[in-house]
Amino acid sequence: MKNLIPVFILSLIFASCQTQVKQGEQTDKQSVEENKDSLRFPKEVNLKNLKQLTFGGDNAEAYFSFDDKNLVFQAANDKWQAECDQIFMMSIDGFSGDRPPLLSTGKGRTTCSYFMPGNQEILYASTHLGDDKCPPSPRTVDGKYVWPIYDTYDIFLADLNGKITKQLTSNPGYDAEGTVSPDGKKIVFTSTRSGDLELWTMNIDGSDVKQVTKGLGYDGGAFFSPDSKKLVFRASRPQTPEAQKMYKDLLKQGLVQPSDMEIYTCNVDGSDLKQITKLGGANWAPYYHPSGKKILFSSNHHTRGRQFNIFSIDIDGNNLTQITHDKTFDAFPMFSFDGKKLVFSSNRNNGGTRDTNVFIADWVE
């Protein structure tokens, strides 16, 4: 499931984002530029004008509206009366006031929000029909890091005032992780309706539900290619009898172990399935580059530990490149539809707390 992320701690010094230069004053141009972009690490050459949009709590999975003006995201923040993840919206410039507008019900736990065509509705998954309270959130089982897969998750549509306008799924079991195709015609989501965590598609109105993947393992976090013809997603593929048994036993308990995942692509109908990464570790949160020729994703393959960074890779599996260089956690990259900006979540600049915040930057090729 997308909404549970590792917790990391890093203490950073936040320098002033503005440097004023008096007329006639001799100033080093490079120093000025560095102060303007003080949240960006020197090796992050693809990012410019990096800006922090949230300050405190756990904020993740921020995704652009189709007109690139707003972001919808999930957050858990006691100051916002969000004990567990709820769905909020803000401008790409951030929000004003005590908190951004709440678009979910405030009940249960939510995840994986996304704008619908027209930018007047969002979809998201919620457990509120099962219980108004936040469900328990186990992090480890027998010493193994796990994600819960709540069988009370269903996918809903809501307007920008937070009113639910439609329920898109009603099958028993897990239905979540929905995203919308750029052409506005399809939704892809993850479901256990077949007995395993597989990808499914449906029309934008919830009709014509079709199964996409069939391999044993967790298929999730899918996004469409810019031309809406392909999907990129994360997948675990347990190979040994022991690993397969463990996967099935955990799934019966509503749990998955996300420590061994790779990035895959396929056509929207499931054909032409390809494994893109073979890095080991946890490779997840993939998103297509606007060209459709590269994929950005989060990975700890370079550390096999708790440090996650964003990487890019060609769709043929070549030219692996590290994009972010934070020493803690960077994930959930998404490009604006015009390809000019990148939004992601990070533990940088959190003052040594456990906060995860949303950041936005200009993208530089």
pLDDT value of residue 113? 98
Query: pLDDT, tens digit, for every residue of 207-219?
Result: 999 999 999 999 9
Query: pLDDT, tens digit, for every residue of 308-346?
Result: 999 999 999 999 999 999 999 999 999 999 999 999 999
Tally of domains within the chain: 1
pLDDT value of residue 226? 98
**Is residue 308 packed enough to be buried (19+ CB in 10 Å), middle (13-18) or exposed (0-12)?**
buried
Alpha helices in the chain (DSSP H): 29-36, 241-252
pLDDT value of residue 35? 58
Residue 102 within a domain: yes
Half-sphere exposure of 218 (CA within 13 A, CB side): 32
| Inter-residue contact 286 to 233 (CB < 8 Å) | yes
| Inter-residue contact 84 to 134 (CB < 8 Å) | yes
Q: What angle do CA 6, 357, 37 make, to 5 degrees?
A: 120
- Reading the block at residue 118, the tokens are 């027209």
Residue 11 within a domain: no
Query: pLDDT, tens digit, for every residue of 92-141?
Result: 999 999 999 999 999 999 999 999 999 999 999 999 999 999 999 999 99
Residue holding tokens 């919830």? 206
Residue 317 within a domain: yes
pLDDT value of residue 142? 87
Which CATH number covers residue 282?
2.120.10.30
As a whole number of Å, the CA-based R_g of the chain is 20
Residue 273 within a domain: yes
Domain assignment of residue 93, given as a range: 29-363
Confidence check: pLDDT of 241 > 90: yes
The pair phi, psi for residue 349, each rounded to 5°, is: 55, 40
The pair phi, psi for residue 243, each rounded to 5°, is: -65, -40
Percentage of the chain beyond pLDDT 70 is 90
**Is residue 197 packed enough to be buried (19+ CB in 10 Å), middle (13-18) or exposed (0-12)?**
buried
pLDDT value of residue 36? 67
Confidence check: pLDDT of 225 > 50: yes
**Cβ-based neighbours of 40, under 8 Å, separated by 6 or more:** 47, 48, 50, 361
Residue 94 within a domain: yes
* Cα 170 off chain centre by: 24
pLDDT value of residue 13? 26
C-alpha to C-alpha distance for 281 and 297, rounded to whole angstroms = 13
| Inter-residue contact 229 to 207 (CB < 8 Å) | no
Residue 24 within a domain: no
Query: pLDDT, tens digit, for every residue of 37-81?
Result: 899 999 999 999 999 999 999 999 999 999 999 999 999 999 999
Residue holding tokens 């141009």? 29
Query: pLDDT, tens digit, for every residue of 149-199?
Result: 999 999 999 999 999 999 999 999 999 999 999 999 999 999 999 999 999
C-alpha to C-alpha distance for 227 and 222, rounded to whole angstroms = 15
**Is residue 160 packed enough to be buried (19+ CB in 10 Å), middle (13-18) or exposed (0-12)?**
middle
Residue holding tokens 């895959």? 264
Residue 341 within a domain: yes
Residue 306 within a domain: yes
